[in-house]
Every structure is written in structure tokens, then in C-alpha cells.
Amino acid sequence: MAQNLRGALVGFCNPLLDISAVVDDSLLAEYKLKANDAIMASPEHLPLFQTLIDKYNAAFLPGGSAQNTLRGAQRLLPEDSAVFFGAVGNDENAQRLKGAADKAKLRTNYMVSQTKPTGTCALLITGKNRSMVANLSAAETYDFSHVQAPENWKDIEAARFYYITGFFFAVSPDTIEAVAKHAHDNNKTFTMNLSAPFVAEFFTAQVEKTLPYINILFGNETEADALARALKFDTGDIKQIAKRVADLPRAGSRPRLVVFTQGSESTVIASSDSDEIRVYGVTEVPDAEVGDTNGAGDAFVAGFLSQYMQEQPLDTCVDAGHWLAGQVVRQIGPNYPETELKFVPTADFAPTVEKL
């Protein structure tokens, strides 16, 4: 009998309309941006958004990290499996975001700001790199009272899996805490993404407070390094970092998985209930087929969770994450192929197992 996953996955993040353009290094230098980074916009960055539109043939794409993830996960899950929460403005850009979610059959539960426009994210693409500058606007108005409302909290009660990005620490830490504790109290699965190096650097206290409740933590190599520095680890080795984070105190008895991707390099997984480190090779997408790498990390989590929710083995979860990320990097922006997405597990896909 098929598993009932109706409303099983709830996600929170900042829904943003991406303004994406291929640029040259001089524009990055002008705004003091790194080629592969994610930051919040400061006042000096605000002219950048119009510059991309006026001078760089920018494309408008549906974005927001967790919304990207849930769009992808829903494509691989039974109908009405996922619900996304976040704040948008009462404007055309909000309708663009909802349209993209509707196309993926992702249900949205937006809080609508009447005073601020829908948030945007500038995506500056240089080769395989992408630099992200987020202007949250309406997204930063998300208020805990929205999810507390009985008509919205019922989605939390109905779900069994939760995914929140680290970006949301800057918006509604109260929401993160409430959902994390609900998951813990009801033996449900709470997952988070480190999202960007600045999250561990500037929200260290909030990250440390939430870590005991996290059952699965996702991140990439730069985010792992930032977390290690924030927690004052004496190592920069990604395998050591993964295991030490996995072994940090937990609120309950459930083991914690730590999943660190490294782009086209290997994916590293550590668990609190094992002294083994699992290292998974990645099949690299040929350069000629790469659109850009924006959204690859979001897609990895989408593929992973889609299989984890269906109680598939860990190897299959990683295989699906790699596969879906590979589909996205062949597109421009954080988009999924228009054609039907059907994951077929790779024969003999397995990690190298190491002991620290």
C-alpha cells in the first residue's frame, strides 16, 4: 500500500523572485562581491538590482531556497505532499512566485505584507559560479503569529517532516524554535540547512540553540567551514567537522545525520550513531551541458528528502539528491526541467566508508 504523504512536508524560508544575469568580474568587484557566496543586501547593493535589469538582460526566475527545494521534492512525491510558508507582498511578483509553485503542484501558505513588495534576489553568474544578494523586503516581515493561527498551525500538526533554511534565523527565530520543539515532542523529523556562511557566523547563538533538535543538517563545504569556525572546532577537515557536528548534544535519542555537499566533488555524511563516515562520489555534469549551478544545493535536498520521506535507504536518498542537482545545473537558474521528473536509482551506487 502506498504511503500517505498528504501534507507530510512543511518548509519555511524567504520566498524571493530571482533576478538572474550572466555578468563579468568587474561587476562583482564594483559591489565588493565574491564569485560564489550568498549575502543580505546592504544599502550600497540596492542599485545592483536595476543594473542587472537595465544592462545585463536579466531573467526573472522563481526563487527562495526552501521554496526551490519543496518545488523539486513535490515533483518527485505524491500529489499534495508539501506545503511552503513565507511572506510576500501584495503584488505581481508574488503572483509569479505562486504561479511557479502551482506549476509544481506545491501548496503555498503565504503571509501577505500590505506595506512591502515581494523580496528579490540578485543572481550574478560568472562561469560556474553564482553570487547571491538577497533583498528580503516583504519576506523579512514574516511573523510567528501567522503560523500560530489555528488555520495555519494545522499544517504543522499534519506534517511529519520539516525543512527550514538558516536564512530564516534572520526573519523568525521564534517560528524555528516552535516548529523544532513540536517535531521533537511528537517524534517527527526536523531538518535544516546552514544555507550560507554568514548564518553560522552571525547567528551562532541561534544555531547552537537549535542544533539539539535537528535530525538532519544539510550544508556545503564553505558553510561547514564557517560552522566549524563559529563553534571553535580545531579542524578544517570536512569529514571531521561532519562527525563532530553529528555528535553534538541532542534533545532526544534519535540519531543526527549531517550531510555536506561539495559541488561536483564528493558528498560527506556522518551520523551520531556510527563512527563511519560515508563519502559519495558525484558524477560531474559535462561543461557543455552546464547552464549554471544556482539551485543545485536546493535540488540536492529536494531529491534527498523525497526518498527519505518514502523510507528509502540512505544511499538512495543521496543518489536522488545528486541526480536532481544534475538536472538543475543543466538549466538556467533554479529551474527544474519541464519534462516529467522520474528518479531511477543508480545500479551499485554506494559510498566509500571511512572510520575516523
Residue with cell 519555511: 12
User: Catalytic pick from 298, 315, 319, 348?
Assistant: 298
Query: Are 277 and 354 spatial neighbours (Cβ–Cβ below 8 Å)?
Result: yes
Report if pTM > 0.85: yes
Between CA 269 and CA 318 the distance in angstroms is 9
pLDDT in tens, the chain (356 residues): 357 999 999 999 999 988 888 999 999 999 999 988 889 999 999 999 999 989 998 888 778 899 999 999 999 999 999 999 999 999 998 998 898 889 889 999 999 999 999 999 998 988 878 898 999 999 999 999 999 999 999 999 999 999 999 999 999 999 999 999 999 999 999 999 999 999 999 999 999 999 999 999 999 999 999 999 999 999 999 999 999 999 999 999 999 999 999 988 999 999 999 999 999 999 988 888 877 677 899 999 999 999 999 999 999 999 999 999 999 888 876 778 888 899 999 999 999 999 98
298 in catalytic set? yes
**Distance in angstroms between the alpha carbons of the first and the last residue of the chain:** 41
Between CA 31 and CA 43 the distance in angstroms is 11
Residues 6+ apart with CB under 8 A from 294: 18, 20, 123, 125, 130, 132, 333, 334
Cell numbers representing residue 121 in the block: 534576489
Q: Which of 305, 342, 323 is nearest to 11 (CA)?
A: 305
